[in-house]
Amino acid sequence: MSGAGAEAEAAAWLEARGLTVRERNWRCRFGELDLICEDGGTLVFVEVRARARADFGGAAGSITAAKRARLTAAARQYLAQLPRTPPCRFDCVLVSGADGQHTLEWLRNAFDAAS
């Protein structure tokens, strides 16, 4: 499954579970935020990771400390443009397996800005 396909599927999957997608592929100088959603009054920055195989830790293992730092910096940049800072969290949607045989796993509060 392509990255864009995984992101589209993750967005629809999250919307079916009550989240509202505000932004897709939001970019700044620090990197890209795959999805920015609202869950009640909470702003949710969602990293979508797709891996066909579980080698080397699979989708979850691909979210390194460096990746988390880039996501945190991009989220801070996004928040800087808002009139007020709402409650926030970082979630991950992991897409594992090949096309037609894949699963989605939603990790709420997968990490925080300090990690």
Instruction: Tell me the pLDDT tens digit for each residue of 23-36.
Output: 999 999 999 999 99
Q: What is the pLDDT of residue 67?
A: 87
Question: Rounded to whole angstroms, how far apart are CA atoms 101 and 112?
Answer: 31
pLDDT > 80? residue 4 = no
Is 60 exceeded by the pLDDT of residue 56? no
Q: What is the mean pLDDT of the chain?
A: 86
Answer yes or no: is pLDDT of 57 > 60: no
- Answer whether 103's CB lies under 8 Å from 97's CB: yes
Quote helix, strand, coil % in the chain, to nearest 5.
30, 40, 30
In the predicted model, what is the mean pLDDT of residues 94-109? 81
For residue 39, name the pLDDT band (cuts at 50, 70, 90): very high
